[in-house]
Structure 1
Amino acid sequence: MEWRCRRITWSGGVPGLGWSGGRVSPLVYGRRLAFRAVGARRCPGARGNPCPVEAVVPGRAAGGRCPECARLDRTHSVAADTFLDDPQPYRVYLAWFGPGMTKVGITAEAREETRLLEQGAVTFSWLGRGPLMAARRTEEVLRQALGVPDRVAYERKRAARHALPSASARAGEVEELHRRAGEIGGWTETLEPLEFVARDHAEAFGLDGLPSLDGTVSELVDGGVVRGRLLAAAGPDLHLLDPDGRCLALDTRLMGGWVLQGAGEGEAFSVPVAQAVSPVDPSTQGELF
């Protein structure tokens, strides 16, 4: 049986690794991981549908899908503004990823905190709730008025996790933006405003005591081995301590579409690693087995 990887999952606030066919392997902090990529990386399909041609995709492609399946994945996507008549309630949130890195976004209320875990938000607070289009308009109004982005680059997020300020400092930064958002007129007429309550994911992610980031895995390759002790998981990233003592980040989006097999004890870490990106100055807020 082939174990073809799909993506990380966050269920009940706990990370797992999903596989084609629907199985999920739990990811346990402190446990050793050792696996080898085998063969070619193939498109895993989209929205529960397998890729009809099992297209080969590049190793460095974070999406890991062929163009056809990528288009299908964007169909009925709230993020892409292609699904605008969803009747369920939505929530607007402020998500904090590091000093000076806070974004405003929306998520379906039924998903609760899952979207924030998937993004790697260390701290967040809800701002308001209501219909989709009202939430989308509020997101744009607040983004412009507060001078915060609707996206934060993954490289900046993962670098910031290794030097976090205290939980109170994190919450304080979000609280200040929440206060400023409440003073902006108009949006509370169409959305129900929600009080500030700081929610922190540092424990769920396993970030306490995370050592400095030494590098990031840039791609998996046929026969390439990843091994190390799982220190943390946040958003799509795994943070590993490899046998040489390096703290490395592995974006699980790069694992999607690969057949993975367990690696033996004598097999060394052998996939490409890029130098870690340093966090941007906080004053520049703007944009396995």
Structure 2
Amino acid sequence: MAQAWKCSGLRWAAGGPVLTWVGGRRSALTRGKRVAFGVAEGGVRTCGGARGHACPAGAAVPGRSTGARCEECARLDRAHSVAADTLADDPRPYRVYLAWFGPGLVKVGITAYERGDARLLEQGAVCFSWLGRGPLMAARRTEELLRAALRVPDRIPYSHKRAVRAGLPGTEAERAAEIAELHARAVGLGGWPESLTPEPFRGVDHARVFGIEQSDRGPAAVGEVVQLVAGGAIGGELVAVAGPDLHLATERGVVVLDTRLMTGWELVPTAGEPCAVPVRELKGAAGVQDGLF
């Protein structure tokens, strides 16, 4: 019987995206590679714990949850996050950014300076620009100022990002135009904290890094995995990786798998089995049924 591995998520490392596994193993995700795995019959998805600690209850979690945490572990994890505003004494410098995911989908956010653009890659930002850098609370106040003044959110549902990915403009200049205009408006606003240093506009484009630029992307995705299920399997050639999403060329077309749905399951390698997981048709796509392939 094949050894089962438990996925702990996708990370964007210096060399590109990698799948991480409980115990420290990593699997590089290079385009053209075959990705195939199954869930054992009778398998149960369990909570991934919080802040690097296992869930004390070993609680079961729903298959459709992208957080893969029970209620208590989710509460503990959020209580120690930057988003919860509980780390006011964090001495690290932070950056404020504008991120673009597709036409009309722009958000403002903050990330620790030391992380570089890893946070933007994790979110699936097609392009972005830094706005300023400074202490955490100054960055947080600037984020709130820009969210109100520019009417841009600090969160965008991932389903919205995924839905617009197939119809992106073809050039970097076109993709950066919206955040360039917002950046110019942002630096002209009053009320920025004195301790935050503004940064000039410099659009950084991730389309080629993700593999979704028109010149190198394959067929558009036709469906997205809704959840993994006990006894289910999926496999295909990796044609793109954007944020947490794997774009897999399967026997039914390109299917998007959010790797956050993999966490908490015991997974085993498979060979050439057809896809057998619930898949939802992406808006505007054809040829994918809702339910099991």
The two structures have a TM-score, normalised by structure 1, of 0.92
Deviation at 1:2, TM superposition (A): 3.1
**Equivalent AA in structure 1 for residue 259 of structure 2:** T
Write the mapping of 1:201-240 to structure 2, written as runs, cut at 5 A.
201-208=206-213, 209-240=217-248
Change (3 A) 1:184 1:210: farther
- 1:268 pairs, out of 263, 270, 274, with 274
* Deviations 1:152-189, CA, capped at 9 Å, x for gaps: 11111112221110211111221111101011012152
- 2:131 pairs, out of 127, 135, 138, with 127
In 1, the alpha carbon distance for the partners of 2:54 and 2:39 equals 20
Aligned residue for 2:5, secondary structure, equals: coil
* Deviations 1:123-170, CA, capped at 9 Å, x for gaps: 000000011111101001111111111111111111222111021111
In 2, the alpha carbon distance for the partners of 1:6 and 1:40 equals 15
Structure 1 unaligned regions, length at least 5: 280-289
Q: Which residue of 1 aligns with 2:291?
A: none
Range that drifts further, 130-139 or 5-14 = 5-14
- 1:111 pairs, out of 111, 115, 119, with 115
Deviation at 1:275, TM superposition (A): 1.9
* Deviations 1:206-259, CA, capped at 9 Å, x for gaps: 112243231110000011011111111111111111112x22111111110111
Kindly indicate whether the alpha-carbon contact (under 8 Å) linking 1:74 and 1:82 is maintained by their aligned counterparts in 2.
no
Change (3 A) 1:95 1:13: farther
Deviation at 1:50, TM superposition (A): 1.3
Q: Which residue of 1 aligns with 2:259?
A: 252
- 2:32 pairs, out of 14, 30, 53, with 30
Aligned residue for 1:214, secondary structure, equals: strand
- 2:194 pairs, out of 178, 185, 189, with 189
**Equivalent AA in structure 1 for residue 74 of structure 2:** A
Kindly indicate whether the alpha-carbon contact (under 8 Å) linking 2:110 and 2:139 is maintained by their aligned counterparts in 1.
yes
Q: Which residue of 1 aligns with 2:204?
A: 199
- 1:178 pairs, out of 183, 186, 190, with 183
- 1:78 pairs, out of 82, 85, 90, with 82
Q: Which residue of 2 aligns with 1:53?
A: 57
Task: Number of aligned residue pairs: give it.
Answer: 277
Deviation at 1:13, TM superposition (A): 5.5
Kindly indicate whether the alpha-carbon contact (under 8 Å) linking 2:37 and 2:270 is maintained by their aligned counterparts in 1.
yes
In 2, the alpha carbon distance for the partners of 1:183 and 1:82 equals 30
Aligned alpha-carbon RMSD (Å) = 1.5
The two structures have a TM-score, normalised by structure 2, of 0.91
Kindly indicate whether the alpha-carbon contact (under 8 Å) linking 1:216 and 1:248 is maintained by their aligned counterparts in 2.
yes
Kindly indicate whether the alpha-carbon contact (under 8 Å) linking 2:141 and 2:193 is maintained by their aligned counterparts in 1.
no
Kindly indicate whether the alpha-carbon contact (under 8 Å) linking 1:219 and 1:272 is maintained by their aligned counterparts in 2.
yes
Structure 2 unaligned regions, length at least 5: 286-293
Identity %: 58
* Deviations 1:61-105, CA, capped at 9 Å, x for gaps: 111111121122113211122222211110000001001111100
In 1, the alpha carbon distance for the partners of 2:75 and 2:193 equals 35
Kindly indicate whether the alpha-carbon contact (under 8 Å) linking 1:126 and 1:196 is maintained by their aligned counterparts in 2.
yes
